[in-house]
Amino acid sequence: MDIKLIQLLTETWGPSGNEGQIRNLIESEVRPHVDEVRVDPLGNLIAYKRAAPEPARGRKGMNSANAAPPKRIMLSAHMDEIGFVITHVDEKGFARFSNVGGLHTLTLVGNRVLFANGTIGTIQIEKGLRATNEPPGYDQMFIDVGATDKRSSPVKVGDMGALMGALVKLGDRLTGKSLDDRIGCYVVLETLRQLKHSPHDVYAVFSVQEEVGLRGARTAAYSVNPDMGLALDVTLTGDIPEAPFMDVTLGKGAAIKVQDSSAIADPRVRHLMVKRAEDAHIPYQLEVLTAGGTDTAAIQLAREGVPAGCISIPCRYVHSISEIVDMNDVQAAIDLLIAVLSNPIDLP
């Protein structure tokens, strides 16, 4: 496991719609392992790895003119992260803000925010922390960037920021910000690095604007026009104190999605992944997520419909500055994705 790379991925700036920095990093990591890389008009990074030539696909002796063309498999891991947008700067230089994607205000106070121009601010709440037993609203919070008045403030209306936080290793586990979904990006990068002789044309999409409504995957799925799609993203767990009932546990393997609130995974795709996991003795668990969605939904509804599923990495405290994943689950997700891509895919 390349923890240095995971650290770089999670700590690189890239709130939804502002994915330039993280895209550059991923592009430099992915380029050596694929045949083509392009960026679509919305900003998605699409890396293409051509199917291995016929002999390597185990079809020796067959007239290649009779062989079925390779299938087009789209992977999607979103590279954007949740963040903030400045809505107003007052005369004293305090900046008001709103959310970009799903933030829990309870987790925000005291955290630091980084802006594109390098400005750092701290999120605070009106009247300090006194008498607050309810999550504050955005209208009760502000960002202090150290400015003394509006004119000298280094941030202005429309500037976007993201949480700041270092990745830390906790035994077999990692905690940090934006493991949603930079850990999914890592799974795809690592898979492409290790994948030899896939019989499929693999299109690895590092999508934009997932956190604001699965927007990037929609345009990417249109241009890739896949025969099958797989999203790689985090999912919640049911293993924390008084968590809502959910049958996913950190450390028990890759989660194969059954459904979430945006998509019912194609049962054929789900069964294929379960079979591959069982054949290769890869630990897995089935995921039923009652809230939240992934790029699966956007791929599934592209064009005339695409069989799509999702490999999820179990993650505690999603959308907080201290998300936690287990490296054994990350490894299982990589192993499962490689097993799926290395073998023929024939959906009944």
188: phi then psi, degrees, rounded to nearest 5: -70, -45
144: amino acid identity, one letter: D
For residue 295, state whether it binds Co ion (rule: CB under 5 A). no
Exactly one of 11, 29, 80, 181 binds Zn ion (CB under 5 A); that residue is: 181
For residue 180, state whether it binds Co ion (rule: CB under 5 A). yes
Q: Which residues pair with 174 in a beta bridge?
A: 169, 325
Site for Zn ion in 184-203 (CB under 5 A): none
Helix, strand counts (H, E) of the chain: 7, 17
Residue of 81, 210, 211, 287 with catalytic role: 210
The answer to whether the beta carbons of residues 307 and 345 sit under 8 Å apart is no
The answer to whether the beta carbons of residues 40 and 220 sit under 8 Å apart is yes
Q: For this structure, is 210 an active site residue?
A: yes
CA distances from 241 to 23, 173, 210, 244 (A): 36, 18, 29, 9
Site for Zn ion in 213-232 (CB under 5 A): none
Kindly indicate which of the ranges 67-75, 165-173, 176-184, 243-251 contains the residues binding Zn ion, using the contact rule CB under 5 A: 176-184
User: Smallest distance from the beta carbon of 318 to Co ion, in angstroms?
Assistant: 6
Q: Which is nearer to Co ion, 44 or 119 (CB)?
A: 44
For residue 266, state whether it binds Zn ion (rule: CB under 5 A). no
222/217 Cα distance (integer angstroms):
8
Element housing 311 (H / E) = strand 308-314
Q: Which residues pair with 286 in a beta bridge?
A: 256
273/132 Cα distance (integer angstroms):
46
User: Smallest distance from the beta carbon of 183 to Zn ion, in angstroms?
Assistant: 9
Q: Which is nearer to Co ion, 83 or 93 (CB)?
A: 83
Binding mask 267-286 for Co ion (x = CB under 5 A): --------------------
Q: Which is nearer to Zn ion, 124 or 207 (CB)?
A: 207
For residue 180, state whether it binds Zn ion (rule: CB under 5 A). yes
26: phi then psi, degrees, rounded to nearest 5: -65, -40
Exactly one of 190, 201, 233, 326 binds Zn ion (CB under 5 A); that residue is: 233
For residue 335, state whether it binds Zn ion (rule: CB under 5 A). no
Annotated active-site positions, please? Answer: 210
Q: Which chain residues interact with Co ion by CB under 5 A?
A: 180
Q: Which chain residues interact with Zn ion by CB under 5 A?
A: 180-181, 233
